């Protein structure tokens, strides 16, 4: 019989930072459309899919923290994600998601709640896919800045 040695999960920092940089660019496109003050929110409606509600929770010189909420009037759904944008490093990471509180970099495994060791990067991957979807299929919201067009 051969004994299998269980390897400890080691996050791929290069992949994680690239993902966070991509998420920063996408979220900057979505949030750059409006000037929000702390506590203000706007919604990006998406036909036949849960809408994206973005609420500014905290802002400082180098960071901004947003609550991103999936909401739907058609089905009972409300998912919350807390995302922090680091403007100096140009990265955005999920701080908490799926209503579970703050995420550690790695979960010990096995654990009582059966969380995966790489749950943090999985949620950041989901954020990336979700932001792609919102950028492609979301409709402009009422707080968009006016776009001026000049004709010759």
Over range 51-66, report the average pLDDT.
Answer: 94
Count other C-beta atoms under 10 Å from residue 70's C-beta: 17
Given pLDDT bands bounded at 50, 70 and 90, which one contains residue 147? very low
CB 66 within 8 A of CB 55: yes
pLDDT in tens, 68-112: 998 877 777 777 889 999 999 999 999 887 545 555 556 556 667
Q: Model's pTM, two decimal places?
A: 0.76
Q: What span, in angstroms and rounded, lies between the C-alpha atoms of 41 and 24? A: 18
CB 146 within 8 A of CB 41: no
Which of 8-17, 22-31, 57-66 has the lowest average pLDDT?
8-17
101 torsion bin: left (phi>0), alpha (psi -120 to 50), beta (else) = left
């Amino acid at each position: 019989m051969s004994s299998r040695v269980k390897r400890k999960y080691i996050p791929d920092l290069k992949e994680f930072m690239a993902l966070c940089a991509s998420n920063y660019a996408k979220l900057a496109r979505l949030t750059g459309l409006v000037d929000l003050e702390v506590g203000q929110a706007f919604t990006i409606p998406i036909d036949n899919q849960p809408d994206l509600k973005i609420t500014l929770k905290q802002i400082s010189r180098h960071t901004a923290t947003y609550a991103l909420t999936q909401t739907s009037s058609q089905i009972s759904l409300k998912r919350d994600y807390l995302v922090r944008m680091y403007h100096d490093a140009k990265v955005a990471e999920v701080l908490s998601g799926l209503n579970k509180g703050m995420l550690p970099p790695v979960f010990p495994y096995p654990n009582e709640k059966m969380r995966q060791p790489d749950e943090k990067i999985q949620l950041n991957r989901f954020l990336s896919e979700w932001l792609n979807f919102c950028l492609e299929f979301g409709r402009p919201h009422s707080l968009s800045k006016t776009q001026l067009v000049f004709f010759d």
